[in-house]
Amino acid sequence: MSPQDLAQIDPYGIPLDAIDVSNPSLYQQDLHWDYFKRLRQEEPVHYCADSPYGPYWSVTKYSDIMMVDSDYHRFSADKAVLLDTARLVGEKEDSPSLAAFIAMDPPEHDRQRKAVSPAVAPANLVRLASVIRERTSRVLDELPIGEEFDWVEQVSSELTILMLATLMDFPVQEKELLSYWSRMIAGTPGDGLMESLEQRDHVLRQCAARFLAMRAERAATPPANDLVSLLAHSPHARDMSVEDYCANIFLLIIGGNDTTRNSMSGGVLAFHDNPREWAKFRTNPALVDSLVPETIRFQTPVIYLARRARQDAEIRGKMIRKGDRIAMWYISGNRDEEAIENADRFIIDRARPRQHISFGFGIHRCLGNRLAELQLRILWEEIARRNWSRIEVTGQPVRAYSNAVRSIDHLPVRIHA
Amino acid sequence: MPSVHYIDSSGHEVEVEAAEGMSAMQAAVDNGVAGIDGDCGGNAACATCHVFVDPAWLDRVGPADPDVELQLLELAEGMQDNSRLACQISLTAALDGLRLHMPAAQF
């Protein structure tokens, strides 16, 4: 279907049964909103009988998403977090798998998550704050004023890939390689970079080889606070299979990177579209405290994650059968008017900005959430300090072809002094 | 109206009057006590209202509910024997004067 065809479809004009929100083009074209508005209103727990990934249920209400997300007894994450199972576990037996602890249930989930959580624990964040600020300041100082450039390339990507390199103690001079690997992990076949899962397998094997070598090196040196050293030295890590180690690395590469990048870019776009909010921020830079979670809510960098029912379950009168897959549409939960007042509006000083569903809930709740907030806070503090009158978005944002990551790949801007 | 004291990691203390039956998380959030976030709105679905119950009050408050709280607390940082999710502590007259210590940061 051509982009024009998709834009022609009236989300309220087709039968409810015909709605399939798993189409990556919907998110690339930013056309998903009304489908979810309709579902929340008319069929908040919705069954799609036929999709490219097979049949699946959707939960679209904030409270239902929170419930499913938190109830790992009934709704398993085991190799179930993406509807596209091939993209999650790989196409072939020996394909590199992305099914890290995000796609595991307790007790294994807990063991593996605890192995890496010290990297982003509050004490470590305090340590990271000064390098983040120094870097952010440098990047912002190097930006052209009055001239068009790509905010994603020059700021969002640059800052987040450097953060990732620091977290993993990966050589900064090889950041392009890390960035490439990140895009190949998070990508979807047909998105313009990833041609096929076979190509991805090939690239991921190279990434895996490098990180396995790093693990061996770090295992032989005293424990440090980077993610690789933590994985190498953790009591459980010694028993961690090669496959699990690599999957965890892949997860940390995208979890620690893409998401924050998109919240940064999304914030710039949101301010452009809402000049009164920009004026509020300029008048009162202390609003950074509430603006940071609001940008994370408004962007919703992770569009959905999925579960598999371990037993029959009823939600809002709908019978979910054991074995059925359920997609939790964070992108919809974050716009649920029953949970969030004026949910469709970007409001940087709302009363309860931290009540959003972008990080998920329950035991799988985003491990890096505080680190993401720290990076975003420092970015907006440093922007406020420079007192630019405006960051103008000068062209259409280019969004990624993906149903899983809500990514802005290019954002042409011009800074007005 | 039971009162509750929130003590931050540097020892700074705030006293709050709560409505009977309100959770210790809600009382903190409603009164702008810094150090407790309550991101999930009190549904035991995150661990951002993590508190350490003052040893003198532990018996009266009780330990973390193994089915509801324990796992989330274990996955947060710095869990101790006196750790609780504040949203699962109901402030009743019996807990008037309760003392809760807060971690340096929520996770």
Residue A353 has pLDDT above 90, yes or no: yes
With contact defined as beta carbons under 8 Å apart, do A367 and A116 qualify?
A: yes
At A323-344, the pLDDT tens digits run 999 999 999 999 999 999 999 9
Instruction: Return the number of CB contacts < 8 Å for A and B.
Output: 50
At B42-97, the pLDDT tens digits run 999 999 999 999 999 999 999 999 988 999 999 988 999 999 999 999 999 999 99
Chain A residues close to B105, C-beta within 8 Å: 122, 125, 370
Q: Which residues 294-333 of A are in CB contact (within 8 Å) with B?
A: none
Phi, psi at B94, each rounded to 5°: -65, -20
Sheet arrangement for strand A390-393: A148-150, A412-416, A390-393
- CA-nearest of B74, B45, B68 to A114 is B74
- CA-nearest of B43, B44, B46, B48 to B28 is B48
Beta bridge partners of B7: B13, B101
The first and second tokens of residue A4, run together, are 């024009």
Residue in chain B nearest A113 by alpha carbon: B75
Nearest to A121 among B37, B40, B77 (CB): B77
Query: What gap in Å lies between CA A404 and CA A189, rounded to an integer?
Result: 13
Contacts of A61 (CB under 8 A, 6+ apart): A40, A44, A332, A333, A336, A338, A339
The confidence score (pLDDT) of residue A388 equals 97
Is A69 within 8 Å of chain B by CB?
yes
Interface of B with A (CB under 8 A): 37-41, 43-47, 71-72, 74-75, 77-78, 103-107
Mutation site for B-interface testing, chosen from A361, A366, A369, A371 by largest number of B Cβ within 10 Å? A361
How sure is the predictor about A192, in pLDDT bands with cuts at 50, 70 and 90?
Answer: confident
User: Measuring CA to CA, how many Å separate B106 from each of A370, B35, B37, B46?
Assistant: 9, 7, 7, 10
Write out the DSSP string of A35-82: HHHHHHHH-SEEEES--TT--EEEE-SHHHHHHHHH-TTTEE-TTTSS
- CA-nearest of A308, A387, A397, A256 to A103 is A308
Domains of chain B: 3-101 (3.10.20.30)
With contact defined as beta carbons under 8 Å apart, do A11 and A35 qualify?
A: yes
Whether residue A110 and residue B104 make contact (CB cut-off 8 A), yes or no, is no
How sure is the predictor about A120, in pLDDT bands with cuts at 50, 70 and 90?
Answer: confident
Computed over its alpha carbons, how large is the radius of gyration of chain A? 21
Greatest extent of chain B over all pairs of C-alpha atoms, in Å: 33
CA A65 to centroid of chain Cα atoms: 16
The pTM for the full model equals: 0.96
Residue in chain A nearest B37 by alpha carbon: A354
How sure is the predictor about A368, in pLDDT bands with cuts at 50, 70 and 90?
Answer: very high
Mutation site for A-interface testing, chosen from B9, B10, B25, B39 by largest number of A Cβ within 10 Å? B39
Query: What gap in Å lies between CA A403 and CA A381, rounded to an integer?
Result: 32
- The half-sphere exposure of A295 on its side-chain side, counting CA atoms within 13 A, is 32
> CB atoms < 10 A from the CB of A280, how many?
17
At A17-53, the pLDDT tens digits run 999 999 999 999 999 999 999 999 999 999 999 999 9
Residue A290 has pLDDT above 80, yes or no: yes
Chain A residues close to B74, C-beta within 8 Å: 110, 114
The confidence score (pLDDT) of residue A6 equals 93
Residue A12 vs residue A237, higher pLDDT: A12
Chain A residues close to B107, C-beta within 8 Å: 121-122, 370
The confidence score (pLDDT) of residue B30 equals 95
Chain B residues close to A113, C-beta within 8 Å: 75
Structural domain boundaries of chain A?
3-416
> CB atoms < 10 A from the CB of A415, how many?
20
Residue in chain B nearest A369 by alpha carbon: B107
Residue A116 has pLDDT above 90, yes or no: no
User: Measuring CA to CA, how many Å separate B5 from each of A41, A228, B17?
Assistant: 43, 41, 9
Q: Give the domain A3-416 fold.
A: Cytochrome p450 (1.10.630)
How sure is the predictor about A258, in pLDDT bands with cuts at 50, 70 and 90?
Answer: confident
Contacts of A68 (CB under 8 A, 6+ apart): A59, A75, A307, A315, A326, A328
The confidence score (pLDDT) of residue A213 equals 96
Mutation site for A-interface testing, chosen from B36, B48, B75, B102 by largest number of A Cβ within 10 Å? B75
- CA-nearest of A147, A162, A326, A175 to A256 is A162
Residue in chain B nearest A62 by alpha carbon: B40
Whether residue B44 and residue A70 make contact (CB cut-off 8 A), yes or no, is yes
Query: What gap in Å lies between CA A362 and CA A69, rounded to an integer?
Result: 6
With contact defined as beta carbons under 8 Å apart, do B60 and B94 qualify?
A: yes
- Nearest 5°: the CA angle A229, A257, A340 is 125
Interval A85-93 mean pLDDT: 86
- What is the percent of chain A with per-residue pLDDT over 90, rounded to a whole number? 81
